[in-house]
Structures are given as C-alpha cells and as structure tokens.
C-alpha cells in the first residue's frame, strides 16, 4: 500500500509541473489572477461532482470543524499565484525545485514537532541530507 501511495504522490507532483506549465502562459494572456481563478473554478466544480457521488453521507459537518483547518485554501491560492507568476520567468524546473525545497524544509519542521495533529517524526541526518540534496539541485538548475 505504501508503494502505491508513493507512486500516487509522484504522479501528483508530475501533475503540478503540468499545472505550472499551463498556468504561466495562461497568466500572461489573461492575467495572473484570472489564471488562478480558472484553476480553482475548474477544481471546485470537479470536486463538487466527486462529492455528489462519492462523499460519505454521514460525515461530520464541514462547518463544525475548527477554523484553522479551513485556512488551507488561502495557502493554496498563494501557491497557485506564485506558480503563475514565477514559471514564465524562471521556468518550470526551477519553480518546482524551489517549491519542493520549501515543502521539504517546512515538512521537516512540521514532522519534528508533530504540528497540526500529525505524527511526531524527529529530524535526523538522513532527512537533513535529503534537504541538502534538494537545495543542491536548485543551485545546479539555477547555474545551468
């Protein structure tokens, strides 16, 4: 099961690269915020349809959840705006490696302290080495 999930998140990462490739040119043609809105509009419509057919009917109310758990949409919008603006200027590879470096750095902190109710996973040498290699990849792509 773990291997399947790893392959799934790799495919999701590939999808983000495609999204960046689509957003950059779209943002240049219609404006960054309109391009961002198009991503969220299509995503919201698709998610709504999936919810109609696959969401459990006895799930707890969305509105009964703590407000801090619902702020991810703000972060998502910021992420998509950054993709839209940065990709045409620095390229997809540089954008994705930079995003990956930020994700891994913050993820190590979240795991280490068990923030947001996630399981506690201490930062160890292997995880630091992984971050260093990602930063090295960013530097190599920037110099290339």
Instruction: Give me the pLDDT at residue 119, please.
Output: 94
Instruction: Give me the pLDDT at residue 94, please.
Output: 94
Instruction: Give me the pLDDT at residue 74, please.
Output: 86
- Residue 102: C-alpha distances to residues 30, 86, 118, 140 (Å): 28, 15, 18, 16
pTM of the model: 0.82
CA gap 35, 135 in Å, rounded: 29
| 97 burial type by CB count under 10 A (0-12 exposed, 13-18 middle, 19+ buried) | buried
Which tens digit of pLDDT belongs to each residue from 54-80?
A: 988 888 887 888 888 888 888 888 999
Instruction: Give me the pLDDT at residue 19, please.
Output: 92
Instruction: Give me the pLDDT at residue 57, please.
Output: 82
Instruction: Give me the pLDDT at residue 123, please.
Output: 97
Angle at 11 between CA 117 and CA 38, to 5 degrees: 85
Instruction: Give me the pLDDT at residue 59, please.
Output: 80
Angle at 134 between CA 13 and CA 14, to 5 degrees: 10
Give me the mean pLDDT over the 22-48 stretch.
93
- Average pLDDT of the chain, as a whole number: 92
116, 71 contact by CB (below 8 A) = no
* Domain boundaries defined on the chain: 2-53+71-143
Instruction: Give me the pLDDT at residue 55, please.
Output: 87
């Amino acid at each position: 099961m773990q291997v399947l999930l790893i392959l799934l998140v790799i495919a999701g990462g590939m999808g983000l690269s495609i999204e960046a490739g689509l957003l950059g040119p779209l943002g240049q043609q219609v404006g960054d915020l309109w391009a961002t809105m198009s991503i969220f509009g299509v995503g919201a419509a698709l998610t709504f349809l999936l919810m109609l057919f696959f969401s459990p009917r006895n799930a707890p109310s969305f509105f009964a959840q703590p407000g801090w758990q619902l702020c991810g949409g703000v972060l998502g919008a910021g992420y998509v705006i950054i993709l839209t603006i940065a990709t045409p200027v620095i390229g997809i590879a540089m954008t994705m490696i930079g995003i990956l470096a930020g994700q891994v750095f913050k993820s190590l902190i979240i795991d280490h302290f068990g923030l947001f109710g996630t399981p506690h996973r201490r930062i160890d040498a292997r995880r630091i080495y992984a971050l260093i290699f990602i930063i090295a990849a960013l530097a190599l792509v920037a110099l290339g």
